[in-house]
Amino acid sequence: MIPQCNPKASYLAHRQEIDAAITRVLESGWYILGKEVAAFETEFADYIGIPHAIGVASGTDAIELALRVCGIGQGDVVATVSHTAVATVSAICRTGATPVFVDIGEDFLMLPSSLSEVMRMMHPQKPKVIIVVHLYGQVADMSAILDLANEHGIKVIEDCAQAHGASLQGRQAGSWGDMGCFSFYPTKNLGAFGDGGAVVTRKDESVEKLRSLRQYGWRKRYISDDNGVNSRLDELQAAVLRVKLKYLDTDNQKRREIAAFYRDRMKDSPLDLPVENTDVEHVYHQFVIQTSDRGLLADRLKANGVATSIHYPAAVHQQTAYSNKAYRPLALPITEKIIPKILSLPIFPEMTTDCVIDVNNAILSAIGRR
């Protein structure tokens, strides 16, 4: 079976370096927030092109802590999309704030005109922060979103959990807003072998607050100024991430090549291919097609040895946990239209050319084009 993603392959591709990094940590005798985390934070911030990165325990924590640094808490409203991992919304709810949902465009990303409408309709209880999600590896229309945010005097957090190394007009995801939040879950473009996350920011004043919040709100050891959490990146994950960061650009390039191949071979098929915006370096965390016969296509692919996945089978506002916890002043027609049609095809940097050809052939045969 050709898997839809394959984190083990990324271990095998760099096994010697990763084993050496893990041994180095084990032998160091220091396992949490040490030299490896500090070095990774510097290297990752340099990579994003921003002064600071703060390692935390997950992408969800990164978003929650970034929101708390923006002063978000009980009674506040945060605007985001409903077509995202539930984690984006779970982080908002954990601060005590209420999410308000904005629709997406055909590119699966936040639609500035819908955001503008939500801002107008929520007045005077308007959102204090916008969380933009760079879903599937493509950066949203940050210029338009930042213009709106500036007009209303509110902050922007980028959810970059699926967009490590993606850029817009040559500027990296995570470097546009007030803060950028990353996940290093194993299947991400930059994945650890466990949980991990980071917040990046150019704001010096946010750094100490983030460092304090991730460790019980400590101002100094055992002395807490804030009600913080335990959300530390560990040394093992940081050491692994330092190895994998060196290969992120080449890995993203391989994802782009696989996407280009799919795109070229499927261009005359009845499948809707993902929209790639101009000015964007898409890093194809996922290659998501749309078809009204999704179930049939997925079954036929499975029968031919090709695994697929659905990111995600329900929008957040359609899920029991969140349906009554969020504002939805607007209908979300594009979100609701795409949900039953989306299907994620196999894409990961270690996919061989033969595998990519096999997936393509299986798809063409499943839709009767071969």
Ligand X SMILES: Cc1ncc(COP(=O)(O)O)c(C=O)c1O
Q: Which residues bind ligand X (CB under 6 A)?
A: 58-60, 84-85, 87-88, 133, 159, 161-162, 183, 185, 195, 197
The residue number whose beta carbon is nearest to ligand X equals 59
Q: How far is the CB of 195 from ligand X (least distance, A)?
A: 6
Return the residue matching tokens 């697929």: 308
**Residues with Cβ within 8 Å of residue 241, at least 6 apart in sequence:** 40, 44, 184, 190, 192, 196
Is the Cβ of residue 63 or residue 271 nearer to ligand X in the bound state? 63
Is the Cβ of residue 47 or residue 182 nearer to ligand X in the bound state? 182
d(CA 240, CA 312): 28
Q: How far is the CB of 86 from ligand X (least distance, A)?
A: 8
Contact in structure between 322 and 89 (CB atoms under 8 Å): yes
Q: How far is the CB of 368 from ligand X (least distance, A)?
A: 33
Give Cα separations from 51 to 87, 306, 341 (angstroms). Answer: 26, 42, 40
Handedness of CA 317, 91, 87, 41 (dihedral sign): positive
Q: How far is the CB of 174 from ligand X (least distance, A)?
A: 13
Is the Cβ of residue 176 or residue 360 nearer to ligand X in the bound state? 176
Is the Cβ of residue 9 or residue 86 nearer to ligand X in the bound state? 86
Q: How far is the CB of 133 from ligand X (least distance, A)?
A: 5
Reported as type and span, the H/E element at residue 197 is strand 197-201
d(CA 188, CA 123): 37
Q: How far is the CB of 58 from ligand X (least distance, A)?
A: 3
Is the Cβ of residue 190 or residue 359 nearer to ligand X in the bound state? 190
Is the Cβ of residue 51 or residue 194 nearer to ligand X in the bound state? 194
d(CA 25, CA 41): 16
d(CA 186, CA 205): 31
Q: How far is the CB of 84 from ligand X (least distance, A)?
A: 5
Instruction: Give the residues across from 344 on adjacent strands.
Output: 288, 309
d(CA 306, CA 358): 8
Is the Cβ of residue 21 or residue 161 nearer to ligand X in the bound state? 161
